[in-house]
């Protein structure tokens, strides 16, 4: 036989396989697009999953019993949520303040410009509204605000500060991250999770910006430490309840349309919060209902809007918070200190005159002893509102931001340590799902048999899968892709042509399992209740591989993934499942998890890639090492 004959035969066979694959691809495209689960099932499952894991308010009978719970909750919130990783060192830094010029305000007050460090190198611009001719001790307010591009220059925020100054109060008007002067792309809240990936809480800069603001206020000569208020709209309402519940220096809190219980959020999609509102693992410690109750017995005014078109509408957001807080305030005999206000005109998402006057009234009652001379009617001040240019405060050109912090943190990661399968399982919060497979139909087309499966993962998830077989395959591939199973018809055709069985799976968040509305916010909520999207995906893939091996008797299972995200969770699945997974073939896998930070990714686009603390212990080489001696093939 001619020596070239084997090579020729191999070439001919390869060409034949390519030709067969090309002919099969349109058929497979149809089969892979076949609907298996109900359209809303991913949403209803993630809602039930998250809601069931939110802690409920404890039933307490005495103040002493409650105070033990509140103290433990504060401690755990700081240790397990706010100050994890490098944030513990940030917490201990001294508050640095730099004062600049004083500008004219209006009749009876002036405005002093300043900046302070929330953490080393991370400066916050602020404005102090200070009454003229101060003497003695006066009440103070930390003025916070939400998602408003004008930031500290928002007119309704200026008017609030002006009105309090004219009543003898000092107000510190602080800029919020991502707004006003801190509106740059690297302050986007969806980038705070880059810190999470490094094992440092991305929530810490938010909290420290508030905490240091209080430090600045209470360092002032005339500040009355017994009369300290915080108030703000929307994200400012979130800031208000968060700092006020955890920092007992605050004696009066007025959050305006800023938050609801996690249980409420699971059902009302408008309320699903951004990264800072849904920090990793918060709901393993407390719900926002707990934080509301933790205000007792301090003065608290919960303001909501009746027709809020944005979020946290009064009808669904307010009642559960009152249900949680009223019994605790009752224990203290201070039910009069917990109040609520619903705005009907305009009733939309606002902190306009009606809501401001409700706040002024609260201030009058609790900071001015109900003095009849204190008038809560707003003093007209629109002509004193200033432009953002006039109110601008100098900032360093190299002011730190989420990305710069994450870049610094990741330089020496992962840390030298024993990185084993047990550690990985703990970091990604892996699950050992038992699979109950339900056949959802089958179809034969052009020599290909497709079986449609609903893979029930424990009691929580239904993962759709399409099993493709041609002839009598001896090997099995479990196929996943960033764009879902419908995107890999060509790849599935090649695998079939090479004699393999294919199970194309859409795990959590991908393909047919994609959540139809506000998907990444639910991914944040999954992490908020203590799990990890990456861990869920890897666990579902590993469970599907075990099912193939044990129930389908499908022989060794190779994971084949297309895209950086699918390649990452497939590699984690291979590392976690040494028996059922024979190896992995990864197309487009990142060379390092540091690329998430170097390429400046955001959590809304790739939520599973921000798994808390993953890079602190593992990078792609460490994950690959856990798979060996099984092969890991990397392809572009």
Domain definitions of the chain by residue range: 19-50+438-635, 62-410
- pLDDT higher for 21 or 308? 308
Q: How is domain 19-50+438-635 classified at the CATH fold level?
A: Rossmann fold (3.40.50)
Residue 59, classified by CB atoms within 10 Å of its CB into exposed (0-12), middle (13-18) or buried (19+), is exposed
Same fold, 19-50+438-635 and 62-410: yes
| Domain over 62-410 is classified CATH 3.40.50.2020 | no
pLDDT tens digits for range 337-362: 999 999 999 999 999 999 999 999 99
pLDDT tens digits for range 262-319: 999 999 999 999 999 999 999 999 999 999 999 999 999 999 999 999 999 999 999 9
**pLDDT at position 188 over 50:** yes
Computed on alpha carbons and rounded to an integer, the radius of gyration of the chain in Å comes to 28
How far apart CA 150 and CA 388 sit, in angstroms, is 7
How far apart CA 275 and CA 279 sit, in angstroms, is 6
How far apart CA 85 and CA 92 sit, in angstroms, is 13
Name the nearest CA neighbour of 431 among 526, 356, 506, 518: 526
Quote the percentage of the chain above a pLDDT of 70. 97
pTM of the model: 0.95
> How confident is the model over 210-231, as a mean pLDDT?
98
Nearby residues of 468 by Cβ (< 8 Å), 6 or more positions away:
28, 31, 448, 449, 450, 492, 496, 501, 502, 503, 504
> How confident is the model over 52-57, as a mean pLDDT?
98
**pLDDT at position 14 over 90:** no
How far apart CA 511 and CA 608 sit, in angstroms, is 15
pLDDT tens digits for range 58-80: 999 999 999 999 999 999 999 99
Name the nearest CA neighbour of 73 among 293, 280, 254: 293
Cα-Cα end-to-end distance for the chain: 38
**pLDDT at position 193 over 80:** yes
How far apart CA 83 and CA 204 sit, in angstroms, is 6
**How many C-beta atoms surround the C-beta of residue 328 within 10 A?**
26
* Extended beta strands in 236-312, E state: 252-256, 299-305
């Amino acid at each position: 036989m001619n020596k070239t004959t084997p090579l020729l035969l191999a070439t001919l066979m390869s060409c034949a396989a390519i030709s067969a694959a090309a002919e099969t691809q349109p058929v497979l495209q149809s089969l892979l697009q076949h609907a298996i689960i109900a359209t809303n099932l991913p949403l209803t499952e993630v809602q039930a999953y998250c809601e069931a894991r939110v802690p409920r308010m404890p039933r307490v009978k005495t103040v002493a019993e409650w105070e033990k719970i509140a103290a433990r909750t504060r401690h755990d919130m700081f240790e397990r949520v706010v100050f994890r990783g490098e944030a513990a060192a940030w917490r201990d830094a001294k508050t640095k303040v730099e004062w600049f010029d004083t500008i004219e305000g209006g009749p009876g007050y002036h405005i002093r410009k300043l900046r302070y460090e929330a953490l080393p190198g991370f400066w916050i611009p602020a404005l102090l509204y200070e009454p003229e001719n101060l003497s003695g001790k006066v009440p103070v307010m930390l003025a916070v605000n939400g998602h408003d591009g004008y930031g500290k220059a928002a007119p309704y925020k200026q008017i609030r500060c002006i009105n309090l100054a004219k009543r003898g109060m000092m107000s510190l008007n602080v800029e919020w991250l991502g707004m006003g002067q801190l509106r740059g792309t690297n302050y986007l809240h969806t980038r705070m999770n880059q810190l999470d990936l490094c094992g440092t809480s991305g929530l810490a800069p938010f909290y420290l910006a508030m905490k240091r603001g209080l430090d600045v206020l209470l360092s002032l000569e005339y500040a009355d430490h017994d009369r300290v208020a915080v108030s703000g709209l929307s994200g400012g309402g979130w800031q208000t309840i968060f700092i006020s519940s955890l920092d007992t220096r605050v004696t009066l809190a007025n959050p305006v349309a800023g938050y609801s219980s996690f249980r409420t959020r699971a059902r009302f999609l408008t309320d699903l919060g951004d990264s800072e509102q849904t920090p990793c693992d918060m709901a393993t410690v407390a719900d926002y209902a707990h934080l509301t109750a933790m205000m007792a017995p301090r003065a608290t005014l919960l303001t909501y809007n009746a027709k809020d078109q944005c979020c946290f509408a009064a009808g669904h957001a307010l009642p559960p918070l009152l249900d949680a807080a009223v019994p605790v305030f009752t224990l203290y005999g201070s039910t009069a200190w917990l109040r609520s206000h619903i705005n009907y005109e305009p009733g939309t998402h606002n902190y306009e005159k009606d809501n401001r006057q409700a706040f002024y009234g609260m201030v009058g009652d609790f900071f001015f002893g109900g003095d009849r001379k204190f008038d809560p009617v707003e003093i007209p001040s629109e002509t004193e509102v200033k432009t953002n240019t006039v109110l601008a405060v100098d900032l360093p050109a190299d002011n730190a931001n989420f990305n710069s912090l994450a870049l610094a943190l990741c330089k020496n990661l992962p840390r030298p340590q024993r990185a084993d399968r047990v550690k990985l399982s703990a970091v990604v919060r892996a699950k050992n799902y038992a699979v109950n497979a339900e056949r959802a139909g089958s179809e034969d087309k052009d020599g290909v048999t497709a079986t449609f499966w609903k893979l029930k993962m424990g009691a929580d998830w239904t993962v759709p899968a399409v099993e493709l077989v041609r002839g009598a395959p001896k090997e099995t591939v479990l196929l996943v892709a960033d764009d879902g199973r419908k995107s890999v018809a060509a790849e599935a055709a090649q695998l079939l042509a090479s004699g393999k069985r294919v199970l194309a799976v859409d795990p959590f968040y991908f393909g047919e399992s994609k959540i139809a509305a506000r998907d990444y916010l639910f991914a944040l909520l999954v992490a908020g209740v203590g799990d990890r999207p990456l861990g869920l995906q890897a666990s579902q893939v590993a469970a599907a591989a075990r099912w193939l091996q044990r129930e389908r008797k499908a022989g060794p299972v190779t994971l084949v993934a297309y895209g950086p995200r699918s390649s990452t969770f497939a590699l984690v699945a291979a590392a976690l499942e040494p028996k059922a997974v024979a190896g992995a073939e990864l197309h487009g896998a990142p060379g390092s998890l540091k690329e998430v930070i170097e390429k400046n990714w955001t959590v809304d686009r790739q939520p599973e890639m921000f798994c808390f603390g993953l890079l602190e212990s593992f990078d792609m080489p460490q994950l690959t090492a856990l798979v060996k001696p099984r092969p890991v093939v990397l392809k572009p």
